[in-house]
Structure 1
Amino acid sequence: MAVRRAALLTTSTVAGLVLLLSLKPHHTTLPVLASSGGTTAVSSPTPDSTSGQPSQSSSSGSKSASTGGGATGTYTGAVEQTPYGPVQVAVTLSHGKLTNVKAVQTPSDASRSQAIADYAVPTLTREALGAQSAHIQAVSGASYTSEGYMQSLQSALDKAGA
């Protein structure tokens, strides 16, 4: 009887572990910055994205002129309100390439919110520069700050026409 119970326990544990490992994590999909030739486009990797069809724009308006194509300049994203405070970023682009992301505002009302932002923002910045888009992974433990950061980042890229 004890051997049968042990075998059943082992089998159910292995089955549970296999099911747990087969689950795929949920990822938030945001529009991706893609550069092609003389223009920069915002493309949506999924059909249910809010931006619809990709749009294209070349450098114009307050953007500085460039011969390499793509937007050049610094663009400030919208202020995104989170439960712990506002998040806002500014991006710098050179010929359509994301070269810098600076956090203009981060949650700082409470010391815990400020500590979370101080940890999360450098990680989010590295992710954005590596991905060249707002399609980045959220930082564990900083979900609201991450979401606000990604939304403000996308807003800045939209302003750039990137």
Structure 2
Amino acid sequence: MNPFRTRPLRRVLIGTVATVSGVSALLALKPHTQTTVTPQAAAQPATPSATPGTAEPSSSASASASASASSGAAAVTKKITGDAIQTRYGPVQVQITLTGGKLTAVDVLQVPEDNPKDQQINDYAVPVLKQEALTAQSASIDSVSGATYTSDGYTRSLQSALDKSGN
């Protein structure tokens, strides 16, 4: 004789215990949290020594720059301001520095900073966009996830500055 047929309460009790155990096991799992990067931490990988992939090109670029400086030919440095691009959340504008025709710096003149959320997004996105632009030496860079409007304004302003420079 099957004990479950004669004792239906036992079946209910076992089912309840299994359900409670399963739910408590699910609740014990830790949810994924998004890590936030402080502007200082985001800026650190931009140094050539901190990023193994960029150490070679940067050191050879500095070697060629020092070689041209020692040969007497001074590299011309130009600063060009890109157009202010109006995005959904506010204007984005960059200024580029070209040294000897090479993109050496991208400075942000304007980004949306009306509220803490804008500041948080841009504190993360701007250093990433800057590093990508310097690595690519163009405005053909990827957007930063979660900062689509800033990324779009940044690349459009960067492209307008590059267009003004003739590069």
Question: 119, 132, 135: which one pairs with 1:130?
Answer: 135
Question: 76, 82, 88: which one pairs with 1:77?
Answer: 82
In structure 1, the residue matched to 2:46 is: none
Secondary structure in 1 matching 2:156: helix
How far the C-alpha of 1:109 sits from its partner, in A, is 1.0
- Which structure is higher in strand share? 1
Summarize the alignment of residues 56-135 of structure 1 with structure 2, pairs less than 5 Å apart: 72-135=77-140
Could you tell me which amino acid in structure 1 is paired with residue 94 of structure 2?
Answer: V
Identity of aligned residues (%): 58
**Cα distance in 1 between the residues matched to 2:120 and 2:150:** 11
Could you tell me which amino acid in structure 1 is paired with residue 163 of structure 2?
Answer: D
CA RMSD across the alignment: 1.5
**Cα distance in 2 between the residues matched to 1:72 and 1:147:** 26
Q: TM-score, normalised by structure 1?
A: 0.56
**Cα distance in 2 between the residues matched to 1:136 and 1:161:** 19
Could you tell me which amino acid in structure 2 is paired with residue 101 of structure 1?
Answer: V
- Which structure is higher in helix share? 2
How far the C-alpha of 1:68 sits from its partner, in A, is 7.8
Runs of 4+ in structure 1 off by over 2 angstroms are none
In structure 1, the residue matched to 2:48 is: none
**Cα distance in 2 between the residues matched to 1:132 and 1:123:** 14
Summarize the alignment of residues 137-148 of structure 1 with structure 2, pairs less than 5 Å apart: 137-148=142-153
Could you tell me which amino acid in structure 1 is paired with residue 144 of structure 2?
Answer: V
Q: Which has the higher contact order (CA 8 A, sep 6+)?
A: 1
120-129 or 109-118: bigger deviation: 109-118
Q: TM-score, normalised by structure 2?
A: 0.54
Secondary structure in 2 matching 1:139: coil
**Cα distance in 2 between the residues matched to 1:117 and 1:106:** 7
**Cα distance in 1 between the residues matched to 2:140 and 2:120:** 24
How far the C-alpha of 1:160 sits from its partner, in A, is 0.8
Could you tell me which amino acid in structure 2 is paired with residue 132 of structure 1?
Answer: Q
How far the C-alpha of 1:74 sits from its partner, in A, is 0.3
In structure 1, the residue matched to 2:159 is: 154
